[in-house]
Amino acid sequence: MVASLFEGASIGPLFDVAIAVDPSILVTAFVGTALAFACFSAAAMLARRREYIYLGGVLSSGLTILLWLHFASAIFGGSAAVFKFELYFGLLVFLGFMVFDTQDIIEKAHLGDLDYVNHALLLFTDFIAVFVRILIIMLKNSLEKGEKKKKRKDI
């Protein structure tokens, strides 16, 4: 519960920015994340048993790449291209984690692990990770559209 509390508190400023830019972005990002979550979780539930369990190694490697890339950009100064790569690659990794974690939870339930609080927290973390990335992408696109409209008015 503490992890969820801190995660929610850390994305509060992002929500403030999203509301200041365009409040509809928040709803659209949530609906998009919910649709992605439903589709990828359904894919994991309808797949053969343990079909996506082997994604864990690849996804963990992707997460490690993101970690080292973030450290390198903090030390050496990151560019906009590196940030964009981190954003989209992170979205891809965490969408994969939705599938992996859903199938891992199903497999654990078959083996008798019915800790639904831990499983729900795991899926909540995946949901928030995807939601934040989609929200940032939508905010960037909205701000870029606003700048283009402003430039057209000035001309």
In angstroms, the CA 47 to CA 49 distance is 6
90-111: b (≥16 Cβ within 10 Å) or e? bbebbbbbbbbbbbbbbeeeee
According to the model, what pLDDT value does residue 50 have? 76
Confidence of residue 149 (pLDDT cuts 50, 70, 90): confident
* Average confidence (pLDDT) over 130-147: 92
CB hemisphere CA count around 60 (13 angstroms): 6
Instruction: Provide the pLDDT for residue 155.
Output: 65
pLDDT digits (tens, 9 = 90+) for 79-127: 888 889 999 999 999 999 999 999 999 999 999 999 998 999 899 999 9
Sorted by where each begins, the domain ranges of the chain are: 2-154
Task: Give the number of other CB atoms < 10 A from CB of residue 136.
Answer: 18
The reported pLDDT for the residue numbered 52 is: 84
Say which residue, 2 or 138, is predicted with more confidence.
Answer: 138
Neighbours of 26 (CB within 10 A): 18
C-alpha–C-alpha distance, residues 102 and 44, integer Å: 6
What 8-state DSSP symbol labels residue 48? P
pLDDT tens-digit readout, 5-37: 888 889 999 999 999 999 999 999 999 999 999
The torsion of the CA quartet 3, 6, 11, 12, rounded to 10 degrees, works out to 140
